[in-house]
Amino acid sequence: MKSVVANVKTQKARQRQMHDSADIQNCQPIRELLKELFITIRHYVTDDIPITGVTTGLVKLDIVIGGLKSGNLYVIAGVPQAGKSALALSMAYRAAVENKPVTPTVLFSLDETKAELMELLISMAADIDFEKIRNSDLEESDWPKLTHGAGLLHNASLYINDTLLLTLGELCDQIRRAVKEHYVKVVYIDYLQLLQVDDRMAMRLPHDLKQLAQELGIAIVAIAQLNSPPIGSSRRPRISDLGRYGNFKLYADVIMLLHRKKATETDGITELVIAKNSRGIGTIEIRFLPEIGKYVDFESESKG
């Protein structure tokens, strides 16, 4: 009995030493923190957009959330057909194709295939109506634009994984592999309801994704489908509409909810409700361009 007690005491002492050493290693002198602060302030002053993360390609959104930051977990959610997958693809395109320098980005598509996504991406890059590409109805004047768009995508740092029926463990392993092999900085998961997880794992998933983002130093953007509001209801979506994925309220750094008013569906104006964000919550308007599947800033598009 004494030996058991002694072993327990020894084990606890070792654990305490490990915790103490970890705390010492994690301590950082204030002079280093001050240096980092001034770098951030200088970045705010000299840049047109005060962001410290990867751009979303949407100016207002970047200002509100500060871009997509490493170690952070983001959620884009909406009811079916709200445009959440299109927003994720548009943001991934901006980061991996148009951003200077490009940001290595991976999209895990549990819904659309690589071939389907490539049609959407070439439509964005070439600025050609998606229906013309899908139906092979191109005009002679479209070919130079198509060639230009292909060149942009050829130099992009965007990776697509369309593996179906992934479990949470398999998804995390694939993300680690993408980071190791391609130095990925931003991960998109489209969409959560297509993962092979039970209710218990669904409750655990937000915690595990947040932990993975911090461990790998990446931004993870999870796309989720909201429960539909009652028929005839025009209310904005709420975090509670996430259903069994409600734990994102605890672990996500930013939660964005898409809302299209019936009166504005034809002109593509979409409300993006920032339901959780350390910089402040609120609603911004963005515009969807269905011809090329891209989201743009509402004001800039309406002026142009």
Pairing of strands 105-109, 158-161: parallel
CA angle 218/224/226 to nearest 5° reads 150
Pairing of strands 269-276, 282-289: antiparallel
Spatial CA neighbour of 77 closest among 62, 66, 64, 87: 87
What are the sequence ranges of the domains in the chain? 1-46, 53-303
Classify domain 53-303 at the CATH class level. Answer: alpha beta
Give, for all 304 residues of the chain, the pLDDT tens digit: 444 334 434 444 444 454 444 444 467 677 776 676 666 566 555 555 456 789 898 988 999 999 999 999 999 999 888 889 999 999 999 999 988 888 999 999 998 888 888 888 888 888 888 888 888 878 888 888 888 888 888 888 899 999 988 999 999 999 999 999 999 999 999 989 899 988 888 899 999 999 999 999 999 999 999 887 655 566 788 888 888 888 899 999 999 999 876 644 557 788 899 999 988 888 999 988 888 888 888 874 434 3
pLDDT digits (tens, 9 = 90+) for 179-229: 999 999 999 999 898 999 888 888 999 999 999 999 999 999 999 998 876
